[in-house]
Structure 1
């Protein structure tokens, strides 16, 4: 596995723990459909959350959240609706939102975590 893939996988693991520590229930990880992939699907306090995780070892190529532009955000919303369509029983009665978690540091297990709760 490439170092970049290992970094990303470790970042997603850290993000899932971060969410669980804050009371989120992880419903799915790396969910795929024809439109793409959702890193994490979670539920908390009446919300179904589609969470994009961005991990960087440094800011040399910009902040991790800079990678979520309007095009990427639109795609995340499409993926969120696709997940709801595929899992209506899990989504029933919940609001829907897109979130992002950025992890920066050479070791994702101890790197800095930034969590944006509602991307519009």
Structure 2
């Protein structure tokens, strides 16, 4: 068995993206429709990493894991001097669909509680940190070629309402 065949489809997708092999021409509606939910989520994370990079953020970790769960992205916002834990939600819709989709709304109270626990673990492992901010990012992929990003800056805080 070759090394390429041992890699998961999500690992292959990530490598193709990072190598510049996955461009708008490759992301046809058929390609997007054929992605598993896990692969679609990975694509959303990769698009979001580029989005944050363009805005001056530094990626610290993708898929940070601890006993409390997993944070999609951990970034450094140097402008605000804060570590950002970002939850990325990705949805796909047909190009001709005029309905607005809000994937970031899936970051519900339960997910927020989980992110607070994950942040506590991260803080203990990387002490001292000045601050942690929680952002939610919704990525909507329309027809394969268009990605809409909705970034909820400081989507929730440490305090439970």
1:72 paired to 2:101: no
Distance 1:34 1:110 in 2: 36
Partner of 1:47: 82
Q: CA deviation at 1:107?
A: 6.0
Using structure 1 for the length normalisation, give the TM-score.
Answer: 0.86
Number of equivalent positions: 116
* Structure exhibiting the larger radius of gyration computed from Cα positions: 2
Mark the runs of 5 or more structure 1 residues left unpaired by the alignment.
none
Q: Is the 8 A contact 1:48 1:96 kept in 2?
A: yes
Pick 1 or 2: higher relative contact order, CA cutoff 8 A, min separation 6.
1
Q: Is the 8 A contact 1:10 1:108 kept in 2?
A: no
Classify 1:109/1:49 alpha carbon distance in 2 versus 1 (closer, same or farther; 3 Å): farther
User: What SS is found at the alignment partner of 1:105?
Assistant: strand
Instruction: Name the structure where strand makes up a greater proportion of residues.
Output: 1
Distance 2:113 2:104 in 1: 15
Distance 2:43 2:143 in 1: 8
Classify 1:67/1:4 alpha carbon distance in 2 versus 1 (closer, same or farther; 3 Å): same
Mark the runs of 5 or more structure 2 residues left unpaired by the alignment.
1-8, 10-34, 157-161
Partner of 1:56: 91
Classify 1:3/1:87 alpha carbon distance in 2 versus 1 (closer, same or farther; 3 Å): same
Partner of 2:63: 30
Q: CA deviation at 1:15?
A: 0.5
